[in-house]
Amino acid sequence: DAGVTQSPTHLIKTRGQQVTLRCSPKSGHDTVSWYQQALGQGPQFIFQYYEEEERQRGNFPDRFSGHQFPNYSSELNVNALLLGDSALYLCASSLAPTRSDTQYFGPGTRLTVL
């Protein structure tokens, strides 16, 4: 049973660049949530995708955008990167948001902005 996978594992970018992170949910899951975890902090919710639509959004600027594909995989895009965007980006998958279900996390993408 394939768990949540993310790519790439590590990424180094410079300020002002754009980045795309990818996530494939656990087999059987159709909902993907993205979180940002800065060093020494707990994960912070960015947004959630279900049925290819953004269903919920946390307190993140419009520079953060996403997409969900028909196969339930998802992308997180961040434009105009800032030094403060350096963090571990975690993807979590679960069943439909109308069901009470555990969220399973992928290994994350560690983004460094120089």
DSSP character string of 65-114: EEEE-TTS-EEEEE-S--GGG-EEEEEEEES-TTS----EE---EEEEE-
User: Given CA atoms 47, 79, 107, 60 in this order, what sign does their dihedral have?
Assistant: negative
Q: Does 15 participate in binding other proteins (rule CB under 8 A)?
A: no
CB-wise, 18 or 27, nearer to other proteins? 27
Which two three-digit tokens encode residue 4? 């949540």
Ranges within 45-74 binding other proteins (CB under 8 A): 45, 48, 55-56, 58
CB-wise, 15 or 55, nearer to other proteins? 55
Cβ 8 to other proteins shortest distance, Å: 15
Ranges within 79-98 binding other proteins (CB under 8 A): 88, 90, 92, 94, 97-98
The whole-angstrom distance between residue 109's C-alpha and the CA centroid of its chain comes to: 9
Cβ 15 to other proteins shortest distance, Å: 24
